[in-house]
């Protein structure tokens, strides 16, 4: 924890001038490559968070950096008032990768979710025939879908929700993982079910096998859209393109973000059925930067990396190793481990430490990860990580829990 003064003086600037809507670990990163970051004092750390899965391909993946550089040297922004030579190709390649028919490009995950909500409501009125202004969307307890006013309207996390009202109506909350509750909540006005296939911010919560097949069936029977928020779970994090793929279930719409921009630029999208996204006509929705050439060029690079299946395979194989190693810590400060692929929610024993204390101890060991809620550590290393690096991090966690 050597501090020559630079770390604390930079943090002091953040504190004085930046809004205090985050509580970062006290480490100031100035360089990164692959699974490793370096702080302003030259100390190296293994990244075990990956920017909440925005860095699935590691920091500055050479192919993505090259795609960004080449695009920036040629054309950065046209606005959608004109065509550009990257947009159509990106949409085609992303649709092909995801087995979907149409792509709506946005910038951030929250915007993708907002867009999916707007599209589902519009579809409900114009196609399904729901009475004007009465569409309902079924959501889950402990959800996280972003930070806009509409999205926090249906968050049950008081920290994310409280004092941002008046809130957007039209959302019905059911317990996550309870398919019967979804079925019971469906009525004539239901437009969609919107949920995370695996809940990330809630602590990497995986529903029981069969849940998603049941929800899919209930949606199909009642002409209700299934919207899978794969902003965090998608794009190889769990070992497949979509976390839902593990369940053999297809959604009508998927939201994507985070890793879609390769950790370089914000890129998000809604992908899915053409007859649903097709309700949008010119002027009815948009974004100045959504689908801009730099986003499309980097997004095309991401699609190309995913096409080989190499990252999905790494996540499956190394994820099995990570979970096996974390399992060895159970009873030694670890109460429970959940997750899939290179993604784990680790609950710290009540008697041991808080997530924040363990994150701090891990930082001292040269491993960066972050707690979510009081007692859960979320581990999501870049998919370029090696087996030895995983061992290094889990050994460090073992020491951190004892420290």
As given in the structure block, the two tokens for residue 239 are: 């070992």
Active site residue 144: yes
Stretch that binds ligand PLP, among 103-111, 159-167, 350-358, 379-387 (CB under 6 A): 103-111
Hey, which residues between 111 and 130 contact ligand PLP (CB under 6 A)?
Answer: 113
The one catalytic residue in 48, 57, 90, 144 is 144
The rounded distance, in Å, linking the Cα atoms of 349 and 368 is 20
Q: Does 197 bind ligand PLP (CB under 6 A)?
A: no
The rounded distance, in Å, linking the Cα atoms of 319 and 390 is 9
Active site residue 14: no
Residue (of 46, 29, 362, 97) closest to 245 by Cα position: 97
Q: Does 254 bind ligand PLP (CB under 6 A)?
A: no
∠ CA 86-92-96, rounded to 5°: 140
The rounded distance, in Å, linking the Cα atoms of 222 and 242 is 24
Burial class (CB in 10 A: 0-12, 13-18, 19+), 350: exposed
Q: Does 57 bind ligand PLP (CB under 6 A)?
A: no
Comparing CB distances to ligand PLP, the nearer of 64 and 205 is 205
Comparing CB distances to ligand PLP, the nearer of 51 and 366 is 51
The one catalytic residue in 128, 258, 353, 370 is 258
Comparing CB distances to ligand PLP, the nearer of 128 and 258 is 258
Which residue's Cβ lies closest to ligand PLP? 109
Comparing CB distances to ligand PLP, the nearer of 151 and 401 is 151
Q: Does 108 bind ligand PLP (CB under 6 A)?
A: yes
Q: Does 297 bind ligand PLP (CB under 6 A)?
A: no
Residue (of 244, 281, 262, 258) closest to 106 by Cα position: 258
* Total residues interacting with ligand PLP, rule: CB under 6 A: 15
Q: Which of residues 93, 136, 178, 229 is near ligand PLP by CB under 6 A?
A: 229
CB of 281 to ligand PLP, least distance (A): 25
Active site residue 258: yes
The rounded distance, in Å, linking the Cα atoms of 104 and 268 is 9
DSSP states along 185-196: H--TTEEEEEE-
The rounded distance, in Å, linking the Cα atoms of 157 and 144 is 9
Q: What are phi and psi of 44, to 5 degrees?
A: -100, 145
DSSP states along 80-131: TTS--TTHHHHHHHHHHHHT-SEEEEESSHHHHHHHHHHHHHHHIIIII-PP
Comparing CB distances to ligand PLP, the nearer of 52 and 154 is 52
Q: Which of residues 257, 263, 333, 381 is near ligand PLP by CB under 6 A?
A: 257
Comparing CB distances to ligand PLP, the nearer of 7 and 155 is 155
For the beta sheet containing 171-174, the strands, ordered from the edge strand earlier in sequence to the opposite edge, are 102-106, 268-272, 253-256, 225-229, 190-195, 136-140, 171-174
Stretch that binds ligand PLP, among 85-93, 140-148, 328-336, 345-353 (CB under 6 A): 140-148
| Contact residues for ligand PLP, defined by CB under 6 A | 52, 108-110, 113, 144-146, 196, 200, 229, 231-232, 257-258
Which residues does the annotation mark as catalytic?
144, 229, 258
């Amino acid at each position: 924890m050597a501090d020559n003064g630079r770390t604390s003086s930079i943090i002091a600037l953040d504190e004085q001038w930046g809004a205090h809507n985050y509580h970062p670990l006290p480490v100031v990163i100035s360089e990164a490559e692959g699974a490793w970051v370096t702080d302003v004092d030259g100390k190296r750390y293994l990244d075990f968070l990956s920017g909440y899965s925005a860095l699935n391909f590691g920091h500055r993946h050479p192919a993505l950096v090259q795609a960004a550089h080449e695009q920036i040297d040629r054309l950065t922004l046209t606005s959608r008032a004109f065509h550009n030579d990257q947009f159509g190709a990106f949409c085609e390649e992303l649709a092909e990768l995801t087995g979907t028919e149409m792509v709506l490009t946005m910038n951030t995950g929250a915007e993708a979710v907002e867009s999916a909500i707007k599209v589902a409501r519009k579809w409900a009125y114009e196609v399904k025939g729901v009475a004007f202004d009465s569409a309902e969307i079924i959501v889950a307890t402990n959800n996280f879908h972003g930070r806009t006013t509409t999205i926090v309207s249906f968050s049950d996390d008081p920290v994310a929700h409280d004092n941002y009202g008046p809130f957007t109506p039209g959302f019905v909350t059911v317990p996550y993982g309870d398919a019967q509750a979804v079925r019971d909540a469906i009525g004539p006005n239901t437009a969609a079910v919107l949920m995370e296939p695996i809940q990330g911010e809630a602590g990497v919560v995986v529903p029981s096998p069969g849940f998603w097949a049941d929800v899919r069936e209930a949606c199909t029977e009642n002409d209700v859209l299934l919207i899978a928020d794969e902003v965090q779970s998608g794009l190889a994090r769990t070992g497949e393109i979509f976390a839902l793929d593990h369940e053999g279930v297809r959604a009508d719409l998927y939201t994507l973000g985070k890793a879609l921009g390769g950790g370089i630029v914000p890129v998000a999208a809604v992908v899915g059925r053409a007859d649903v996204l097709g309700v949008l006509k010119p002027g009815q929705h948009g974004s100045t930067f959504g689908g801009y050439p730099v986003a499309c060029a980097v997004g095309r690079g991401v699609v190309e990396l995913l096409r080989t299946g190499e990252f999905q395979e790494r996540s499956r194989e190394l994820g099995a190793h990570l979970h096996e190693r974390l399992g060895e810590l159970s009873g030694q400060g670890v109460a429970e481990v959940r997750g899939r692929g290179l993604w784990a929610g680790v609950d710290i024993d009540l008697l041991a430490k808080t997530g924040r204390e363990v994150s701090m101890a891990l930082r001292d060991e040269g491993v960066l990860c972050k707690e979510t809620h009081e007692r859960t550590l979320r581990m999501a290393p870049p998919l370029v990580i090696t087996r030895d690096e995983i061992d290094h991090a889990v050994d460090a966690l073992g020491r951190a829990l004892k420290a």
